[in-house]
């Protein structure tokens, strides 16, 4: 079965039909740049462009980089235009896509769902935490394979600051940190998350997961196993489609 998945990120809106049996893209993905300001209206136009590129007429799952309740309503918007807060994103996207059925899910949760099913978290029980390091820090918390949605662990306080402001990969780029320096920040962040949840496994996702060999060796003193994500940049698209499949 195929469902369309869209990943709405700080820099791009990416999408493709997803083969749900294989947990992979059924066609090469298509991307448009995220508009600035990233208002609901302009992002919805970007989403339409991506979906229309494939001539898709079926259910669509979308990620959003903020708290999303009931597959529909946006509650927070840390790194996108604040006018998203309280928007019924399901209604907005469905209307813009000519009435297609739509499900919206937090981007960290979507990546987590995909990794638990098809990637680094497959068959893992206990407490598993996936963290995505990008513009912000996304999180997905699982207990025996069940998602606790909207965990928002990127906004824990670290050194008196929002953790994602110190330890996201954007912070690494903006402050031109070496891998080692940034890894120390990530280590402090992981130690804090570990103190709160004592996970069995951390899965490290986001664009940096491709470069895990550059920073994971610097991370020490964490009890939990730490592994890079396996689906890498497509986890959001795949997870969004999976959520849309279970919603429909």
Chain residues binding ligand BGC by CB under 6 A are: 65-67, 76, 78-79, 106-108, 132, 136, 138, 152, 154-155, 164
CA distance 66 to 75: 7
In the complex with ligand BGC, which residue's Cβ is closer, 78 or 100?
78
Minimum distance, C-beta of residue 171 to ligand BGC, in the bound complex (Å): 12
Minimum distance, C-beta of residue 133 to ligand BGC, in the bound complex (Å): 9
Minimum distance, C-beta of residue 136 to ligand BGC, in the bound complex (Å): 3
The length of the chain in residues reads 248
Minimum distance, C-beta of residue 57 to ligand BGC, in the bound complex (Å): 29
In the complex with ligand BGC, which residue's Cβ is closer, 115 or 164?
164
Sign of CA dihedral 6, 83, 93, 242: positive
In the complex with ligand BGC, which residue's Cβ is closer, 23 or 154?
154
In the complex with ligand BGC, which residue's Cβ is closer, 163 or 183?
163
Q: Are 240 and 17 in contact (CB under 8 A)?
A: no
Beta strands 161-162 and 30-33 are unpaired
CA distance 93 to 225: 39
122: CB partners within 8 A, 6+ apart: 116
In the complex with ligand BGC, which residue's Cβ is closer, 17 or 193?
193
Strand pairing partners for 4? 17, 60
Q: How far is CA 16 from the centre of its chain?
A: 16
| Closest-approach residue to ligand BGC (CB) | 136
Minimum distance, C-beta of residue 106 to ligand BGC, in the bound complex (Å): 5
CA atoms within 13 A on the CB side of 246: 12
């Amino acid at each position: 079965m195929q469902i369309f998945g869209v990943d709405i990120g700080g820099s791009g809106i990416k999408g493709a039909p997803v083969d749900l049996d294989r947990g992979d893209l059924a066609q090469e993905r298509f991307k448009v740049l995220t508009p600035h300001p990233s208002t609901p209206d302009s992002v919805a136009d970007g989403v339409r462009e991506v979906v229309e590129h494939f001539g898709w007429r079926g259910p669509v799952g979308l990620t959003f980089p903020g708290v999303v309740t009931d597959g529909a309503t946006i509650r927070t918007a840390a790194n996108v235009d604040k006018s998203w807060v309280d928007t019924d994103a399901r209604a907005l996207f469905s209307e813009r896509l000519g009435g297609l059925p739509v499900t919206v899910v937090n981007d960290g949760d979507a990546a987590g769902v995909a990794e638990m099913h098809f990637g680094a978290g497959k068959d893992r029980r206990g407490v598993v935490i996936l963290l995505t390091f990008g513009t912000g820090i996304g999180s997905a918390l699982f207990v025996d394979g069940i998602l606790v949605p909207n965990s928002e662990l990127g906004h824990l306080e670290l050194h008196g600051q929002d953790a994602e402001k110190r330890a996201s990969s954007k912070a690494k780029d903006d402050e031109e940190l070496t891998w080692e320096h940034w890894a120390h920040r990530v280590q402090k962040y992981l130690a804090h998350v570990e103190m709160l949840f004592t996970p069995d496994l951390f899965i490290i996702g986001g664009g940096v997961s491709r470069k895990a060999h550059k920073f994971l060796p610097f991370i020490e003193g964490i009890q939990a196993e730490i592994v890079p994500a396996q689906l890498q940049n497509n986890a959001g698209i795949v997870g969004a489609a999976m959520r849309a499949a279970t919603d429909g």
